[in-house]
Amino acid sequence: MKRVKAIYPGSFDPPTNGHLDLIERGRKIFDELVVAILRNPEKDPLFSLSDRRKMLEVMTADFDNVSVDTFDGLTVDYAMRVDASVVLRGIRAISDYEYELQMALMNRKLQPGLETVFMMPAEKYSYLSSRLVREVAQLGGNIDCLVPDLVAQKLREKMDPAHKFDNSEPAPKRSRKKQS
Ligand code: PNS
C-alpha cells in the first residue's frame, strides 16, 4: 500500500502548543510527517534556526513517524526533494483562510502533484500564534500554558538581559502576512 509522507512547513518562532497539537493530529493520518523549518533570510527571528530545531526535536521525540528538518527556497521544491506528496498546514480561524488559500493554490500551480491538507488545531489554541507568544513573553506576561515547558524556559532565558544579545541570525524587515 502507498505510504503518504507529509511536510509541515513553517517558521516555528517559537513552536507553540498549537503547533504540537497539529503535529499530533497530522502524525495520526500520515505515515510520515516532517516538520520543516524555513530558513528565511528576510525575517528577524527571535530564535535561531538551530534553537528552533532543537526545541521541535525535543517536543516530537516520542513520535516515531515525525522528524524535524530545515529548508531554504520554495516549499514545493523541498517537498519534491524529500519525496513528500502532502503539505500540512493549520487553519485556526477564518482570518487564516485567505493567506492559506493563496499559498495552497500557488503551490498547486508550481507543483500540481502536491496536495495541501488543512487541519484545525484544538479550539483552545485557536487564538494562539508565535507572534503573540513572543509579544506576551517580551512584555513579561505568563506564557506557560501556551508553549511546551522547554520553550517557556527558552523564552524566559531570551527575556533575561544576560541572554538578550544571544541571537546570531541576521536582522532585516518584516512583511505583512498571517501570524504564524
Ligand atoms: O509559519 P509560517 O510563517 O506561516 O510559514 C509560512 C511558510 C514557511 C509555509 C511559507 O512562507 C513558505 O512556504 N515559504 C517558503 C517559500 C515559498 O515556497 N514561497 C511560496 C509560497 S506559495
Reply yes or no on whether the pLDDT at 169 is more than 90. Answer: no
Dump pLDDT digits (tens) for 17-63. Answer: 999 999 999 999 999 999 999 998 778 899 999 999 999 999 999 99
Closest CA to 66 of 11, 124, 19, 16: 19
Output the pTM of the full model: 0.90
pLDDT reported for residue 175: 52
Q: β-strand 32-38 against 115-119: which pairing, if any?
A: unpaired
Ligand 1 atom closest to 179 (CA)? 4
Q: Which of 72, 75, 76 is the best mutation target for the ligand 1 pocket, counting ligand atoms within 8 Å of the beta carbon and taking the most? A: 75
pLDDT reported for residue 152: 97
Angle ∠(171,175,177) on CA atoms, nearest 5: 130
Instruction: State percent of the chain over pLDDT 90.
Output: 82
When the pLDDT of each residue in the chain is averaged and rounded to a whole number, the result is: 91
**Residue 104 CA from chain centroid, whole number:** 16
d(CA 59, CA 57): 5
Ligand 1 atom closest to 73 (CA)? 16
What is the CB < 6 Å shell around ligand 1?
9-11, 38, 74-75, 103, 106-107, 178, 180
